[in-house]
């Protein structure tokens, strides 16, 4: 049974069209969007890990440095605020939401920095195995946060670039009109100014 020339042309055209559509970038926008959302989940996971370490750290410091109540209270309050500011994947296109999240996390980082600086005044605390283990875990978590944020920024950059370049711009302006650029982390205010060094 042989195919007639018109049927053969129709089959060839159908196969060619299918290959063209699959290779044209139609799936690129949703794929990059899902990747950015997955990276955001990892950012949240690492910030949650840090928040989970804080109660044990505060309890350990409290046992040695009861007179540092203000610092301990600041850490607990900053943790409460940081864990209350949530940004889910549907809000990643709102720069203000991401700014609020970042600000709350930065406040917690500052409070933790003050807590760790206070620990320098207490030699017994600095040699406590529980404190040392918590401090090490916190340091590792901060590194994981940095990596997760970097990966999120890269995923968002790829997604946002695809929305503005060919052929993604065609899909974003027609079939995938709901696709909006995602917000990125920004540098903390004053982070570009080096800290003063005094001897």
pLDDT in tens, 14-28: 777 666 655 677 889
Residues contacting residue 30 through CB under 8 Å, at least 6 positions apart: 176
Number of domain units in the chain = 1
The size of the chain, in residues, is: 199
Give me the pLDDT at residue 68, please. 87
**Residue 21 domain-assigned?**
no
| Predicted confidence (pLDDT) at residue 193 exceeds the cutoff of 90 | no
Tell which residue, 33, 39, 1, 23, has the closest CA to residue 149. Answer: 39
For 98, the domain range is: 43-152
| Predicted confidence (pLDDT) at residue 74 exceeds the cutoff of 90 | yes
The tokens for 125 are 């605390």
**Residue 188 domain-assigned?**
no
């Amino acid at each position: 049974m042989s195919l007639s020339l018109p049927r053969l042309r129709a089959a060839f055209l159908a196969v060619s069209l299918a290959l063209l559509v699959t290779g044209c970038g139609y799936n690129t926008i949703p794929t990059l969007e899902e990747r950015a959302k997955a990276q955001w989940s990892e950012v949240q996971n690492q910030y949650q890990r840090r928040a989970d370490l804080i109660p044990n750290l505060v309890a350990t410091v409290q046992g040695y440095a009861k007179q540092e109540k203000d610092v301990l209270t600041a850490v607990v309050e900053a943790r409460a605020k940081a864990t209350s500011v949530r940004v889910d994947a549907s809000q990643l296109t709102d720069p203000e939401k991401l700014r609020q999240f970042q600000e709350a996390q930065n406040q917690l980082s500052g409070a933790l920095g003050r807590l760790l600086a206070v620990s320098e005044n207490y030699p017994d605390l600095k040699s406590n195995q529980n404190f040392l283990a918590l401090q090490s875990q916190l340091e590792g978590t901060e590194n994981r946060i940095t990596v997760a944020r970097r990966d999120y920024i890269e995923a968002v950059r790829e997604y946002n670039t695809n929305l503005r370049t060919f052929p993604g711009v065609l899909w974003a302006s027609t079939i995938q009109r709901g696709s909006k650029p995602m917000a990125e982390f920004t540098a903390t205010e004053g982070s570009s100014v080096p800290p003063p060094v005094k001897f």
